[in-house]
Structure 1
Amino acid sequence: MTNDLSTTMIDLIRHGEPEGGQKFRGSLDDPLSELGWQQMRSAIRETDRWDAIVSSPMQRCRYFAEDLAGQQDIPLHIEEDLREIGFGAWEGLTAEAINERFGDQLARFWADPVGFTPPEGEPVSDFRDRVVRGFRHWQTELAGKRVLVVCHGGVIRMVLGDVLGVPLERSFASVSVPYANRSRIRVDRSRHGEFRSLLSHFSSDLLR
């Protein structure tokens, strides 16, 4: 008889600062800046141990994930569904530039991200669906293990929204996810079903 009892610990970490600084990056594939690498290394503790790493394919996530997987000699899995949301015509622009070129569109997006999609951008409902699909795949595939997921601010917001039952309309505005922020989710599976909970959510800057 197989044992269906398991506890899975999943740590999510947002990438550090990319080259080019603060802007709407989405699917732009900028690597980490020197500061971004420092932020990521500062967020990892000597006592951290994982059985596997799952990463977004974007350079700002993947390169760090590859480096860490090599150091800990553990498997690395690349998940396309954990890419950041596509911001369309806003990509590569600062908030100030978007306001200058597109009027009140940015304010409309923050007020109603489900009802308003940036020009040529990815609808938030589609983004949520693919992120949840990719996350749940690895939650099942790596059940019973300790897992690190290296991804993006928007991705973490969608995952936490799914775990906590936050309405999609509030998922972007209700959670702050700074660079190199870490979140920990515990998944308990038993004969009674599955129970998921958020154990922690913090920035490494707060520990200094």
Structure 2
Amino acid sequence: MQQTLYVIRHGEPLETGRLLGRTDMPARVSGNEQVYAQLQACDAISQVISSPLQRCQTVARAFCESAGLPLQIDPRLSEMDFGDWDGQSYEVLWQSTQSPGIGDFWQSPWQHTPPNGEPMSAFHLRLSDWWQQFITTPSPQSTAIVTHAGVIKQLLATWLGLPEGFDTHLSRLEIGYAKVIKVTVFYDDTGRAWPKVVF
């Protein structure tokens, strides 16, 4: 059995140049329109799963209401919580002399946690938990997922079998607004899931 996932990053937020994790900033109308078009282009999807944050949920809900599809909201697909840094401009963060700083975090996120933020280990664990739960019910039906860049990068690490603690993908992968990543999941006779990223 094979299943297809379409993993879509939310559209451009109302304000750019800020570190947006749990900060619940909506997407621009044009950004939502781009994500909506991507959802329309997905082949025969049967459900949509979304982060609860507005920049994801608003367009996912609008699409599902129009297409008559079920929408599942899962907080585990929320972006990382950047704590005291969340919502601040990158300019301010890069000028800060606080330690650890944003540069420390980008270089070694497993070793440096944003002040009052979510540790990388916890972020990894909740996404791993979501994935393990998702694959417990194999289905041939396609699913679209509307979420965030950090979430997509960490899920890619899981799908590619990168070891826990590996972090190069976080700074070297760029996932643009409203971009789609296609993943096929083959379930063998034992029920084991074999994900493959499709370009």
TM-score, normalised to structure 2, is 0.90
Aligned partner (choices 187, 190, 196) of residue 189 of structure 1: 187
- Seen in structure 2, the aligned counterparts of structure 1 residues 103 and 96 have a Cα distance that, compared at 3 Å, is farther
Residues 61-100 of structure 1 aligned to structure 2 (within 5 Å): 61-100=56-95
- Find the aligned partners of 1:177 and 1:59 in 2 and give their Cα distance: 19
Q: Alignment partner of 2:171: what SS?
A: coil
Give, in angstroms, the shift of residue 46 of structure 1: 4.5
> RMSD between aligned alpha carbons?
1.8
Aligned partner (choices 40, 52, 56) of residue 51 of structure 2: 56
| Percent of paired sites with the same residue | 28
Give, in angstroms, the shift of residue 62 of structure 1: 0.6
CA contact (8 A) 1:61 1:150 kept: yes
Q: Aligned pair 1:161/2:157, yes or no?
A: yes
CA contact (8 A) 2:36 2:63 kept: no
Give, in angstroms, the shift of residue 118 of structure 1: 0.8
CA contact (8 A) 1:15 1:61 kept: yes
Q: Alignment partner of 2:140: what SS?
A: coil
TM-score, normalised to structure 1, is 0.86
Q: Alignment partner of 2:136: what SS?
A: helix
- Find the aligned partners of 1:173 and 1:113 in 2 and give their Cα distance: 10
- Seen in structure 2, the aligned counterparts of structure 1 residues 47 and 151 have a Cα distance that, compared at 3 Å, is closer
Matched residue, 1:130: 126
Deviations 1:93-127 (A, max 9, x none): 12211022345711111111110111111011110
Q: How many residue pairs align between the two structures?
A: 195
Bigger Cα displacement from structure 2, 158-167 vs 100-109? 100-109
Matched residue, 2:21: 26
CA contact (8 A) 1:52 1:146 kept: yes
Matched residue, 2:4: 9
Which sections of structure 1, spanning at least 5 residues, go unmatched?
1-5, 201-208
